[in-house]
């Protein structure tokens, strides 16, 4: 499926909207909001991500309602984490679409909304940071697997703390290096220049962007006021 790129301003406002509405939603509404977020992924061409997320959410939902009917206190504790997954999944899905926008285009578009520069820089760096960490973690896991230290290998299940250490320590060291690289890259691009930045990107909101934004907001409000 071909990916569609919505204007970053619309994406950012939708991310803020979905973040607010999930704070006042119960479990049933959270399930509907997750379905709305999955539809948003599909519209933006994230077919593979939508399929993986939908499978994960199906397992979480079934497990969550099973926990609610169970009398075991240990499962009740686990149910807290399933509830958190349902609550934060819509935000993560909306943010995953925004993080694919080039940082230059994102800053160029969002500065037109009058957002303070410090917030723009923090948002851009944060959204670009997590995909990099994901790639680095995959590389570390591959190296650990070649050395027989990965948790994916059954022989290491008896020593989970050691496997965690072999993964966590290299990831932390790499994270520190990445932060230095991001800071140097930002300074090279003149991120500390006090005036408004120019950009090669054409920041225009199309009618289709407005239509998608209005549809998402309308569906979100309808879910909030629906008795479920």
In this structure, how many other beta carbons lie within 10 angstroms of the beta carbon of residue 30? 22
Write the CB contacts of 6 (distance below 8 Å, at least 6 apart in sequence).
44, 97, 209, 212, 213
For the whole model, what pTM was predicted?
0.76
* Number of domains composing the chain: 2
Judgement on whether residues 130 and 93 belong to the same structural domain of the protein:
no
Does one domain contain both 207 and 97? yes
Note down the domain range covering 56: 1-102+202-228
Same domain, 94 and 128: no
Write the DSSP assignment of 149-208 as a string of letters: --TTSGGGTT-HHHHHHHHHHHHHHHHHHHHHHHHHHHHHTTTT-SSPPP-SS-----HH
- For 106, how many CA atoms within 13 A lie in the half-sphere containing its CB? 22
For residue 113, what pLDDT band results from cuts at 50, 70 and 90? confident
Are residue 86 and residue 183 in the same domain, yes or no?
no
Do 157 and 208 belong together in one domain? no
Question: Could you report the per-residue pLDDT of 194-216, keeping only the tens digit for each?
Answer: 666 666 777 778 888 889 999 99
| Helix pair angle (8-21, 207-225), 10° resolution | 0
* CA dist., res. 163 & res. 72, Å (int): 30
Task: Compute the distance between CA of residue 107 and CA of residue 17 in angstroms, rounded to an integer.
Answer: 19
User: Rounded CA gap, 165 and 101, in Å?
Assistant: 33
User: What is the per-residue pLDDT for 197?
Assistant: 66
* Number of alpha helices (DSSP H) and beta strands (DSSP E) in the chain: 8, 0
180 with 211, same domain? Answer: no
CB 38, CB 50: distance < 8 Å: yes
Position 39 scores a pLDDT of 92
Say yes or no to pLDDT of 71 above 60.
yes
pLDDT band for position 38 (cuts 50, 70, 90): very high
* Whole-number percent of the chain with pLDDT over 90: 14
Whether 183 and 224 share a structural domain: no
| Domain match, 134 and 121 both | yes
Confidence band, pLDDT 50/70/90 cuts, at residue 35: very high
Residues 39 and 69 in one domain: yes
- Nearest C-alpha neighbor of 97 from the set 207, 208, 15: 15
113 and 78 part of one domain: no
Question: Both 176 and 226 in a single domain?
Answer: no
Q: How confident is the model at residue 89 (pLDDT cuts 50, 70, 90)?
A: very high
What integer pLDDT is reported at residue 64 of this predicted model?
A: 82
Token pair of 149 as six digits? 């230290």
The residue with greater pLDDT, 157 or 143, is 143
Q: Give yes or no: residues 181 and 228 share one domain.
A: no
């Amino acid at each position: 499926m071909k990916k569609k790129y919505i204007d970053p301003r619309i994406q950012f406002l939708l991310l803020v909207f979905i973040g607010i509405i999930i704070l006042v939603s119960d479990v049933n509404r959270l399930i509907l909001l997750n379905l709305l977020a999955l539809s948003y992924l599909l519209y933006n061409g994230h077919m593979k991500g939508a399929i993986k997320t939908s499978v994960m959410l199906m397992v979480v939902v079934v497990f969550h309602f099973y926990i609610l009917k169970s009398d075991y206190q240990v499962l009740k504790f686990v149910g807290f984490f399933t509830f958190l997954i349902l609550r934060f999944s819509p935000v993560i899905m909306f943010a995953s679409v925004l993080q694919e926008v080039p940082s230059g285009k994102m800053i160029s578009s969002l500065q037109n909304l009058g957002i303070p520069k410090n917030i723009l820089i923090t948002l851009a760096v944060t959204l670009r940071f997590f995909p990099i960490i994901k790639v680095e973690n995959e590389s570390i896991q591959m190296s650990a697997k070649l050395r027989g230290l990965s948790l994916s290998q059954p022989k290491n299940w008896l020593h989970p703390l050691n496997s965690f250490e072999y993964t966590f320590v290299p990831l932390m060291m790499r994270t520190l290096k990445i932060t230095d690289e991001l800071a140097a890259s930002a300074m090279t691009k003149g991120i500390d220049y006090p005036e408004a930045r120019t950009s090669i990107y054409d920041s225009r909101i199309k009618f289709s962007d407005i239509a998608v934004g209005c549809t998402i907001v309308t569906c979100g409000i309808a879910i909030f006021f629906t008795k479920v």
